[in-house]
Amino acid sequence: IRNGADAPTIIRAVTDRGFDSDAESQQYGVAVLIGGKASTSAFSGGAIPAVRGHHVGKTYAVQGNTLAADGATQRISEAFAA
């Protein structure tokens, strides 16, 4: 972030096998605000128990795993944005 990295760049870095060899078992969410410009990104590894997911808004990221239903992160995002 200090070097001006945006959220997608950070997600790519932390999910790289050289950084986290177990990234497929992880979830990451990043929201960065630099100079008044926001970027967001999220990652939900394929080895996380279902139901899992993530949703990003303009200035936030929502992640969830072992959820009760599909679409939960979308509904949380909508409630947060309201």
- Residue 44 near residue 24, CB atoms below 8 Å: no
Q: What is the pLDDT of residues 30-42, one digit of tens each?
A: 999 888 889 999 9
Q: What is the pLDDT of residues 45-76, one digit of tens each?
A: 999 888 888 988 888 899 988 888 888 999 99
pLDDT the model gives residue 44: 93
Q: Both ends of the chain: CA-CA distance in Å?
A: 28
Residue ranges with strand state E in 3-79: 27-34, 37-44, 53-56, 61-64
Instruction: Give the separation between CA 49 and CA 8, rounded to whole angstroms.
Output: 23
Cα dist. 9→6, 20, 66, 76, 80 in Å?
Answer: 5, 15, 27, 25, 25
